[in-house]
Amino acid sequence: MPFINRDFINDLSNRVDIVGLINKRVPLKKAGKDYKACCPFHEEKTPSFTVVPSKQIFHCFGCGESGGAIDFIKKFDHLDFVAAVEAVAGESGISVVYDKNVKPIDASFKRFNALMTKVNDYYKSRLKDSSSKSKVVSYAKKRGISGEIARRFELGYAEEGWVNLYENYIDDEQAISDLEKMGLLVLKKDKKSDYYDRFRNRLIFPIHNAKGNVIAFGGRVLKDKDSPKYLNSPETPLFSKSNELYGLYHCRKYSRRIDYILVVEGYMDVIALHQQGITCAVATMGTATTPNHLKILSRSTDTIVFCFDGDNAGRAAAWKALQTSLSMITSGLIIKFLLLPEGEDPDTMIKRESPTLFSRRIEEAQTLSSFLFEHIKSEVQFETIEGKTQFLEKASALIHQVSYQVYKQQLIEGVAKIIGQDVIHVEKAINQNKPVGQYTSDDISTDQRSSTENQEDNITDPVRTRNINMKGLMSKMISYILNYPSLANDVVEERAKHLPESKVLMELIHSAQIDSDITKDLLIQPFENKIKIYKRLQELSVMEPFLSENEAKDEFLSALTAAEKQQERKRTSKDISSAKTNAEEKKIMDDIRRRKTPNL
């Protein structure tokens, strides 16, 4: 992850032509001193999108979107912060200034990325030039993959044979070592320097991260009788399947608007949907949907639609996705479920139907609440008193996982309506069924341990409490930044830097601002040499109890405000104690009152 100089970022907006940048993407018309267009972020017929060159900002009076050049490029091009800064600078002919004072996470990452690009080119060349390419080309055509879509997803071919890739790099000792780390070469048992290729006789799907870099590969056998049908790269320094989604890069690149993202089960489903013009699709890679997947998806869309086969396995997978989703629901996020007819998947379904009919299925997908209640009803004898009791108990356990209070209340009211009871009685019953070990902020007190005033001891337990010292507040803020890097912004940075012993927090905020999608592991990696701090950060990275992003934001800002007030009280006490005469004390008290009195 590159660290861009903070001063460069702050100054960039003053050095670029925001009108020119936006006009390349949205045709602007002169309107007095400003420029206007129909907003690219919502449907409208009368232009309400305005670009103000004198202030280097844009604003839509229809949907409220606003910001500077970086904000526009980030949203319009579906880029993360670093990529948006680099895009704005590149299009404006400005060289990006990277922060030389910040320790890079790992210099080998650049080498790994370059190698993966070369390996991707190698697999693509084999699809084009291999003497045995006819069978993989025949398979691709059989699956309905056009040349255009094959190029879009950079498909390749791993030939038959055990050592094709190995022999291509056999004279490069560093590359061989790195290929093993990337999981593309496997060391033979009982042989120290002998390898074989992981991917053999397979159609190759490169896996891209959000920036478009190839970080791993997947391979599909050409004959259904062979196994395993799909094979993925193992976990590597570049690739963690619980943090990556196949097709997300292509979704952002080829979708002008992302009204929803369809989560499917396989590479071929994503490719088949693209082939039919449905580009807002991603796939998990041999793993169930994780909370990290949902966090990543929610930054690109307000509606996530899970699509599964209608058989028992598909329904089980959908139910697992629902359970994972409950704690992640936040204000404005809608989660739906699309269960296809048994025996069908998106690939077969969209070919049998039309894209229009399949799109209608997506629009009419079942809401999370509807799927939740329907599933629980199917597990009990609902027409009996005992069945309704079981329904209430099962629903209670799931509702307690929801941290977004507005949605939680709606689910309670939904349960009351289904079982035909008063909401107050249902709410009381659900609260009585609160799982053991689940606490509110008032149930937990801070660990008031004594320690020396140094940076390492300033990281303590991240718990919500009535009586919190500065160390506890600092711990809370660190925990929330580790779990939700997007909480960091310029205002937070400016406020936090004035707090005592805030060096660790400031470093985390700086890293999080550079890349809001950064993982916890990458955030804390620069502290590996400071063993005590690193260990404490690992503990703080586990949020107990879990909070949604909106709740974490509220708690973070509350902790920041409390820390500022505590610092102010400490400064006030010091000022008063330093007064040597009654006159000096009176002057100090007058100054304090003036600071507390708002300007009218």
6, pLDDT greater than 90:
no
Lowest mean pLDDT among 150-154, 440-444, 482-486: 440-444
Q: In this predicted model, what pLDDT tens digit does every residue of 368-387 receive, in sequence order?
A: 999 999 999 999 999 999 99
Q: Is the peptide bond before 545 cis (omega within 30 degrees of 0)?
A: yes
334, pLDDT greater than 50:
yes
Q: In this predicted model, what pLDDT tens digit does every residue of 375-419 receive, in sequence order?
A: 999 999 999 999 999 999 999 999 999 988 999 999 999 999 999
Handedness of CA 86, 87, 89, 91 (dihedral sign): positive
CA distance 61 to 41: 12
State residue 592's pLDDT score.
Answer: 59
pLDDT tier, 532 (very low <50, low <70, confident <90, very high otherwise): confident
Domains and CATH numbers, the chain: 6-91 (3.90.580.10), 103-239 (3.90.980.10), 379-432 (1.20.50), 447-578 (1.10.860)
Which amino acid is present at 178? D
> How high is the mean pLDDT of the chain?
84
Q: In this predicted model, what pLDDT tens digit does every residue of 193-252 receive, in sequence order?
A: 789 999 999 999 999 987 789 999 999 999 888 888 999 999 998 998 888 999 999 998
CA distance 234 to 217: 9
548, two tokens: 């949604």
Specify the higher pLDDT residue, 511 or 283: 283
Which amino acid is present at 143? R
Q: In this predicted model, what pLDDT tens digit does every residue of 84-140 receive, in sequence order?
A: 898 898 888 888 887 766 555 566 888 999 999 999 999 999 999 999 999 999 999
Residues 297 and 282: beta-carbon distance below 8 Å = yes
State residue 523's pLDDT score.
Answer: 86
Residues 286 and 219: beta-carbon distance below 8 Å = no
Backbone angles phi, psi at 307, to 5 degrees: -120, 120
Which percentage of the chain shows pLDDT scores above 70? 86
Mean pLDDT of 433-458: 40
Element (H, E) at 230: strand 230-232
Mean pLDDT of 545-555: 77
Give the chain's end-to-end CA distance (angstroms, integer).
Answer: 47
456, pLDDT greater than 80:
no
